[in-house]
Structure 1
Amino acid sequence: MLPVDEIRLNFNPASLMVLNAVLGFLMFGIALDTRVDDFKRVARMPWAMAVGIAAQFIVLPAVTYVLTLLLGVGPSIALGMILVACCPPGNVSNILTHRARGNVALSVSMTAISNAIAIVVMPLNFAFWGSLHPDASALLKTIALDPVEMVGHIVAIIGLPFVLGLLCAHQLPNFTQRVKKTVRIVSFLALIAFIIGAIAGNWRFFLDYVGLVLLAVVLHDALAFGTGYVCARVTGLQDYDRRAVSIEVGIRNAGLGLVLIFSFFGGLGGMAVVAGVWGFWDIIAGLALASWWGRRAPVPAPEELRA
């Protein structure tokens, strides 16, 4: 069995183009659920928003970096964990926040703002933490990652669809209201189908190497949810907001990570296995957490819940 850092998963260019289109459709669906009022809400809860954004783009990548060192994982696995941590959240976080009886308005606003910020910050964040890693930095140099090129790719697959979705929601509200639920469900199922396809097409590799990443993914995912919760708690946010921030930080768009891995890293083994396993485990863990929270009201209950 080859070392995980030496394998390259198979994913043909045509499939990658379709995956790019699916991810763009997913971002379009997120934008259809976004309104100008979502951005205006930021002005009404600036502290909660600032805490959530900082937890996602500053604290989580730093915590992930430390976790890769403590676990002593291979370079490609470390890069996969760092890349996932740098990804923006997906709109499944909004659904889970609602199930958890958290602040859905905060969750929706954070998703919109985070995806906009990620267009520029994500490649820079990944390049910084990846190059800082004592083992993974050498692997990153051999790949010769260009953050500017990655920005262009991210603009094409999440930036433009997001802007188009915002325009559609603003200019065609009636049409948007009719189709947004269908778009959200279809795009999410299509993304899951492609993650399954990526795993099925490389089943032997996943079977051989999943044991290397499963513990790392489970710990990393739990740490991501915990990072959001701790950041929200130590900064004085109430339980209602803490639930939203925890889920928003814990849910990462592993589909975007998978696209970037096949586009820029040639399907590098450890990275792809991490992103593939994360894509499923993240939803399972998030659903379990949201269901547990959903069984009890936030404490102390905010005024809007008492009304």
Structure 2
Amino acid sequence: MEKLNFLLRCLLFSLLISETFAVNITISKFPNNDDDDDNDNDSLYVTEDEIRILEVLVQDTADISDLTLVAASTDEDIFRIANESKTFSVTINETIEIGILGVFVGIEDIKLKLERGGVLLMNETQVVKVKRKNAIIVAIYQWTLTAWLVLSYITMGCKMDWRIIREKLRRPYGVLIGAFCQFIIMPALSFGLAKLLNLDDAAAIGLVTVGSCPGGWLSNVFSLLLDVDFVLSLTMTFISTVLALGFMPLNLYLYADKFVGDNEDLETPFFDIMIQLVSLVIPVLIGMTILYKLPKVAELCLKCLKPCAVILIIISLGLGIPAQFYVFYSDWEIWVAAACLPFIGCFLGYSISKIARMELKSSVTISLETGVQNSLLAIAMVGISYPKPESDLIGRVPLLIALLTLMEGCAVTSAKVIIQKYFWKSQDEPEDVKEVIEKEDKHPEMMKEINGNKKVVLPTVSVAVQVGEENFTNGTTAISLDNPAFLED
């Protein structure tokens, strides 16, 4: 009896196989003159809140009837079947039109199952890519951000006095440590986080792209606002920008290409990235030229540096949040990756610099240059180099990193200003002259240098002397001392 059942199952399976090979499904897209991506025969492109038609033609070489076609979306949060029913009765050589409604930016598959009497005959899939709507505010944000990015690099170039930078390069320990952290530690860290959090391919490429970027304007801004080694920050940014011409494509080749998978649109556009990196150096060189040829203009640029930084932050938040609001719907893994990369990067940069026995300000500067990568450069590169919707999906991570870094940096800067103003005054603040005179009278060895002067003319001092029961006050006397406030260590 068992042998008979086995033979019947084999016979039924052979019949199903013969019917499966006899059926053929042809999938084609309904033409849309407004879609520039119709030349991509492998994917169906649809915009959010719009419907595209997928045509399915069932053909066979045998007389098969009672066929049913079932359509399903792998993720209805990305796209949905617009037809009233997802099940279609199939007549041979008849075209079935399936409406695809775009819901949210993403890439998913539509699964087509051909059944007969509940038995599966054929299973086909079609890639569906949902693009964002073309909003005016997005274009305004991109152009404004590009303009401010160029202006900020020109302004920073005006600060890069080669004589000062040359002094940093004579003892390049901080620059070398920063370059090691930026181009060795950060790309490996971003790759490890992407693997650990099991990010989707697009998000992983976005994370590695940010990790492979050089330092940028944001690290310089926070170095300026936090009163650390701004010259070292500028020097590291300039050197890392030059080194990125070789290291960034190399790191993207080593780490990002591992997440391409079957989607060729995720392949790294090395040529486009090289062009953008070269163009990034140009504004810096323009600023350095202004510094040497037009020093008055350079001085004006330097005065505008802090206001420009504040305006840039306001514009980035004011336009960036509504223009890129879709990033807030990212999965929690992407949020964690975006928050951890700069935080861990700063921690590792500070730790490595302290192990190398760098002073505090230099360590904090290296920490900022390591953790605060040029995420805006990554956003610009992704937007220009990759097609949509891949560019939007890859851009989620650098956008979130830029937003979180701005918020964290502003919070740290505000806390620093409050603490310094109300709780902890800087030791470099000049002391009151009267207090210095009192220290000289009581403890001459406690005198300190005042404002770096080696010779100070003290103001008039009235000296009261008591003899017996009578008080005598001499006339006011101006006392001139050679370096009265100088303290030898």
TM-score past 0.5 threshold: yes
The residue that corresponds to 2:209 in the other structure is 83
Cα separation, 2, equivalents of 1:241 and 1:89: 15
The residue that corresponds to 1:50 in the other structure is 176
Deviations 1:149-175 (A, max 9, x none): 21112222x121121111111111111
**Contact 1:29-1:183 at 8 Å conserved across structures:** yes
How much has 1:147 moved relative to structure 2?
A: 1.2
How much has 1:140 moved relative to structure 2?
A: 7.0
**Does the alignment pair 1:171 with 2:296?**
no
Task: After TM superposition, list the pairs within 5 Å mapping 1:88-237 onto structure 2.
Answer: 88-131=214-257, 133=258, 136-138=259-261, 141-156=264-279, 158-182=280-304, 185-186=307-308, 189-190=311-312, 193-194=315-316, 196-203=318-325, 205-209=326-330, 211-237=332-358
Cα separation, 2, equivalents of 1:210 and 1:185: 35
What amino acid does structure 2 have at the position aligned with 1:51?
Answer: I
Secondary structure class of the residue paired with 2:260: helix
**CA RMSD, 1 decimal:** 3.2
Percent identity between the aligned chains? Answer: 18
**Does the alignment pair 1:61 with 2:183?**
no
**Contact 1:35-1:166 at 8 Å conserved across structures:** yes
Q: 1:198 to 1:97 in 2, by over 3 A?
A: closer
Q: 1:225 to 1:282 in 2, by over 3 A?
A: same
How much has 1:99 moved relative to structure 2?
A: 4.6
**Does the alignment pair 1:278 with 2:404?**
no
**Contact 2:155-2:301 at 8 Å conserved across structures:** no
Deviations 1:189-218 (A, max 9, x none): 347525653442343x23422645222211
Deviations 1:233-269 (A, max 9, x none): 2333233321111011111222111111111123533
**Contact 1:61-1:86 at 8 Å conserved across structures:** yes
What amino acid does structure 1 have at the position aligned with 2:344?
Answer: L
Cα separation, 1, equivalents of 2:226 and 2:276: 34
TM-score of the aligned structures, taking structure 1 as reference length: 0.82
Cα separation, 2, equivalents of 1:182 and 1:218: 30
What amino acid does structure 2 have at the position aligned with 1:234?
Answer: I
Cα separation, 2, equivalents of 1:191 and 1:266: 28
Gaps of 5+ in 2: 1-76, 79-103, 108-129, 427-450, 453-489
Q: 1:240 to 1:180 in 2, by over 3 A?
A: closer
Q: 1:139 to 1:185 in 2, by over 3 A?
A: farther
Task: Give the count of matched residue pairs.
Answer: 296
Q: 1:194 to 1:109 in 2, by over 3 A?
A: same
How much has 1:118 moved relative to structure 2?
A: 2.4
Cα separation, 1, equivalents of 2:148 and 2:132: 20
How much has 1:123 moved relative to structure 2?
A: 3.1
**Contact 1:84-1:253 at 8 Å conserved across structures:** yes
Q: Greater strand percent: which structure?
A: 2
How much has 1:44 moved relative to structure 2?
A: 3.1
Cα separation, 1, equivalents of 2:207 and 2:198: 12
For the pair shown, the structure with the greater C-alpha radius of gyration is: 2
How much has 1:10 moved relative to structure 2?
A: 5.2
**Contact 2:223-2:229 at 8 Å conserved across structures:** yes
Q: 1:275 to 1:192 in 2, by over 3 A?
A: farther
Cα separation, 1, equivalents of 2:395 and 2:148: 18
Cα separation, 2, equivalents of 1:208 and 1:280: 14
Q: After alignment, is 249-258 or 207-216 more displaced?
A: 207-216
The residue that corresponds to 1:250 in the other structure is 371
How much has 1:48 moved relative to structure 2?
A: 1.8
Q: 1:287 to 1:258 in 2, by over 3 A?
A: same
Cα separation, 1, equivalents of 2:262 and 2:148: 29
